[in-house]
Structure 1
Amino acid sequence: MIRTKVRFSRLGSALLAASLLGATAPAVLPAGQADAAATGRVCFFKDTEGANGAGHVAWAIRDPKNTRHWIWGATENIEGDSYTAPGKNNGSWIQGGDWDDLRKSLKPDPGHKKFLYDAYRCINTAGGDLAAAQRTFRAMRANGYQVAYNNCLTKSIAIFRKYSPALSTVYLPNGGATLPKSYFGKVLDHARGWEKAHQYTPRRGER
């Protein structure tokens, strides 16, 4: 898989967020809230060495109706160029399964290697629309690729926002013209509700 080089020049009330977005919008829950209250969850996975050092991210979301089940994926820019026309293969893929299946797919990085993931960070939501997220994935798969504004990061953000409309820009800032590794770090550090990064180290026997 090819990841193109990218070149780019406190916590609020969950109830308020939900009320502003409508009664049906699932609220974002603060980090540290009891897991029993959080049926929805979204996560970024970061490959620091991806895209020749610009970083690459994959996305994952939990099924709020079956919290053992996840779906996840990424856009890999299979052509390796700064632009892929809509309708052409932009390297988007999706899988589903439990957390162990996810780990086997998004392989952890035991040392500084490309195409492996160094860390992940997540935010809980009070629910989520898995079908809406899957529809958005299909739209992102079909709408091409552009290195600054239609890439692995911006497509992940679009999927997350459809899954949980409460993930407004306060919780999930826009990612255009932003290095994926910077977004994962500095940008999410200043956004509301995100857990600190979990180092994504291999389990015993996992390479």
Structure 2
Amino acid sequence: MKFGQQLARAATPVVGSLALLAAGMATAPVEAQAAPLGRVCMFEAPNGAYGAGHAAFAIKVRGEANHWIYGSFGSFVDSPRAGWIKGGTWEKARAHFTDVKDKKEQYYTRYRCVNTRDGDVRRAQSWYTAVKNRGYNLSTNNCLHMSMAVFKGYSEILRKDTRLPSATNTRPNYYYEAVLKNAKWEMSHRLDDKKK
């Protein structure tokens, strides 16, 4: 192939792109488009911890269509009690929480989510590790602390939200029902509702 032919071939995509821009049919580069929203969800087992409730977390990996990080801390039922973290699709995360049983009864029964304009999975995982390494403590480092640490590590917006106070000495059921509602998280969804 001669140099002139190579130059003409190389110029064709540029000319085509300019034509699309002129016609208004091309979109801005991905970097210039609005970043996809972050999303966090708290899964809750109302009968966990002798009726005080048990919380678990899921966070969406921004920029990926359907990849989530999810986990739990401090539950005898959803083991290991020392904490665990996994990655997968939303469907896989929901299936995990749906399948956890306590004496043959569904353990997690509901979840509540909120979108964020930011979301840093690496920072969330770092906060997860910090909480896990402190060891479980019923009042000061429990499942609710873990979930909120992951959410606030993931999102600076959530970290600065004054409607999301410390989890210390707070029952997960109360935090899920009252605090998240007051903070304008989405309505509670039943985990066994296949439509969500």
**Contact map agreement 2:52 2:171 (CA 8 A) in 1:** yes
Q: 1:46 to 1:108 in 2, by over 3 A?
A: farther
1:185 is matched with 177
1:33 is matched with none
Quote the Cα distance in structure 2 between the aligned partners of 1:151 and 1:58.
10
Q: 1:48 to 1:112 in 2, by over 3 A?
A: farther
1:200 has 2:191 as partner: yes
Quote the Cα distance in structure 2 between the aligned partners of 1:38 and 1:110.
34
Q: 1:124 to 1:171 in 2, by over 3 A?
A: farther
Q: 1:53 to 1:174 in 2, by over 3 A?
A: same
**SS across alignment from 1:124:** strand
2:10 is matched with none
Is the helix fraction higher in 1 or 2?
2
Deviation at 1:65, TM superposition (A): 1.5
2:180 is aligned with what amino acid?
L
Q: 1:113 to 1:52 in 2, by over 3 A?
A: farther
CA deviation map 1:179-202 (0-9, x unaligned): 1011100122222x3111111115
Query: Relative contact order: is structure 1 or structure 2 higher (C-alpha 8 Å, sep ≥ 6)?
Result: 1
1:25 is matched with none
CA deviation map 1:85-133 (0-9, x unaligned): xxxx852100100011102211168999666211100110012001101
Q: 2:164 aligns with which of 172, 176, 189?
A: 172
Q: 2:151 aligns with which of 147, 155, 160?
A: 160
**SS across alignment from 2:59:** strand
Using the size of structure 2 for normalisation, the TM-score is: 0.72
Q: State percent identity of aligned pairs.
A: 39
Q: 1:104 aligns with which of 90, 95, 98?
A: 95
2:67 is matched with 69
Instruction: Say which one has the larger Rg.
Output: 2
Using the size of structure 1 for normalisation, the TM-score is: 0.68
Alignment of 1:33-112 (within 5 A): 39-78=37-76, 90-107=81-98
Quote the Cα distance in structure 1 between the aligned partners of 2:99 and 2:75.
20
**Contact map agreement 2:97 2:108 (CA 8 A) in 1:** yes
**SS across alignment from 1:44:** strand
**Contact map agreement 1:38 1:124 (CA 8 A) in 2:** no
Quote the Cα distance in structure 1 between the aligned partners of 2:116 and 2:72.
21
Q: Any unmatched runs of 5+ in structure 1?
A: 1-35, 79-88
